[in-house]
Each structure stands twice: as C-alpha cells, then as structure tokens.
Structure 1
Amino acid sequence: MPLTAPMIAIVEDDESLRPALVGFVRSLGYIGEGFASAEAFLDGDAQSRAACLVSDYQLPGMNGLDLSARMQGTLPVILVTARTERSIDERAEAAGVRCLLRKPFETDALADCIRRALDS
C-alpha cells in the first residue's frame, strides 16, 4: 500500500461542481486537485503527479475527449458529460477513456470508476 494517497485530478469548468468533486474524492481518501481547463491541468506538473484524471467533456479550449487522447494511455481517464450522442461513447473508447459517466451521475458510480481505474 502506498504511503501517500493517489492524486485524482478533476478538470471541470463549472465553478460549483469542481470543488464538490474535489471534496468528494478527498472524502474517499484520495488527494484531489481541481483545474478549470485542460490547459490549466497540462500547464504544471499535475499530469506527472496524478494517478487518475476525471474530466468534463465540455470545456473551454481543449475538450475532455481531446485531453484524454493527449494522455495517450499514460493516465487513466474518466470522462463526464451531459451530452447523449452515441458518437461520444465511440470516440471515448477510441481515445482510451476508462469510464464514461453521463450527468447527472451517482457519486457511487464515480467512486467505482475511480477504484477500477486505479486497479487497472
């Protein structure tokens, strides 16, 4: 068992949802860090410190699907979206997304996705 908890990066532009998700992952015993955009996440060293990335699909600038593709499998990605188009599922799978959650989602579903992503 690691000495420090895994860091879960949350990329979400919604100013009320982002801190709620960070708080939720912290309540699960992980380290949570929030970022308002994909670019903010990529700017620092977060991608080298993160064990898992939870990203909204719809973001200003680079979207969550493009961010996932950019990770090229170096980091498990959980994608969250309110959109329902079937093409998102197919593109998410092609980009290597580990879990796709539709908003609104149950927190238990997110917790399960995180656990599965960290176990793989």
Structure 2
Amino acid sequence: MYKTHVIAVVDDDEAMRTSLSSLLRASGYQVFCYAAPADYLDSDGPAQTDCLISDMQMPGMSGLQMLDALRAQGWRMPVIFVSAHHGDLPCDKSRATDVVACLRKPFAADELVAWVEVALRRSGNT
C-alpha cells in the first residue's frame, strides 16, 4: 500500500532509477521515474510530484536547469539533488529554490529516505 505521496526521480542512469524506485516503493511511496529532464517536464509529473529527486549532471539539461524550467512554469516542490561528480552540488546557492538536500553518490538508503521525510514535512505534505 502506498502513502499518498508521489516521488519523482529524474536520472539518466537506469540502474540508479531502478534502485531509487525500489527503495522508495519499499518505503511506501508512489514513484515515477524519468530518464531525462525533458521527459519529466513534458509529462504530467510536475502536477503530481510531492518531492523531486534529481541527478545534477545529465545530457542536455542539468538538474538545476530543470529546476529553473519548473519554476518558470510555476511549479514548486521540494527537491533533493544527487550527484556522483565532485563540485557540482551547489546547495549553498540552491537553498532559496527549495533544494532540501544535496547528496553525493553513493549515499545510504536510510539517509535518502530521511531527507524525503524532511522535504515532505517542510512542504507541508506530511
């Protein structure tokens, strides 16, 4: 049985999408995965998303560029960025744009789930 919360995962790495989806579903969330920011932006995903988990570095559009596009379209939801690259987690600059956490891959499963709970509490979606 799913909690009412919908988590969107945007990551170009299929293994990461599968892993995050399994983890979040096991934690009781409904999860939708997207291989690219454009796939997410062109879907009904933003209207359904309670929390967005996104990779920072993806071909074509970065996580921050996707966040800018979401904001330009009027969408606001808490965001958790993840990245395997050093130096591309600009949480200090991103906090004002609803970025709740920036996690460096690999991260602990319980750490991600804890940050999802924080994100949902901060947005009033608990």
How high is the TM-score relative to the length of structure 1?
A: 0.88
Whole-Å separation in 1 of the counterparts to 2:77 and 2:19: 22
Compared with structure 1, are the counterparts of its residues 28 and 91 closer, same or farther at alpha carbon in structure 2 (3 Å cutoff)? same
CA displacement at 1:119 relative to structure 2: 0.5
Aligned residue number for residue 98 of structure 1: 100
Q: Confirm or deny: 8 A CA contact 1:68 1:97 kept in the other structure.
A: no
- The 3-state SS of whatever aligns with 1:114 is helix
In the alignment, what sits opposite 2:90? 88
CA distance in 2, matches of 1:60, 1:113: 26
**How much has 1:95 moved relative to structure 2?**
3.6
State whether structure 2 residue 13 is matched by structure 1 residue 19.
no
SS at match of 2:20: helix
Which ranges of 4 or more aligned residues in structure 1 deviate by more than 6 Å? Answer: none
Question: Structure 1 vs Structure 2: percent identity of aligned residues?
Answer: 35
SS at match of 2:90: helix
C-alpha contact (below 8 Å) 2:37/2:61 kept by paired residues: yes
Q: Report the CA distance shift for 1:20/1:86 in structure 2 as closer, same or farther (over 3 A).
A: closer
Query: Given the alignment of the two structures, is residue 47 of structure 1 paired with residue 46 of structure 2, yes or no?
Result: yes
Give the Å deviation of 1:83. 2.1
CA gap of 1:87–1:51, structure 2 versus 1, over 3 A, is: closer
1:27-63 Cα distance to aligned partner (Å, 9 max, x none): 1100011000111001011000010000000111111
Number of aligned residue pairs: give it.
Answer: 118
Give the secondary-structure state (helix, strand or coil) at the position aligned to 1:98. strand
Distance 2:93 2:56 in 1: 11
Residue number in structure 2 paired with 1:75: 77
Residue identity opposite 2:32 in structure 1: E
Gaps of 5+ in 1: none
Structure 1, 35-44 or 64-73: larger mean CA deviation: 64-73
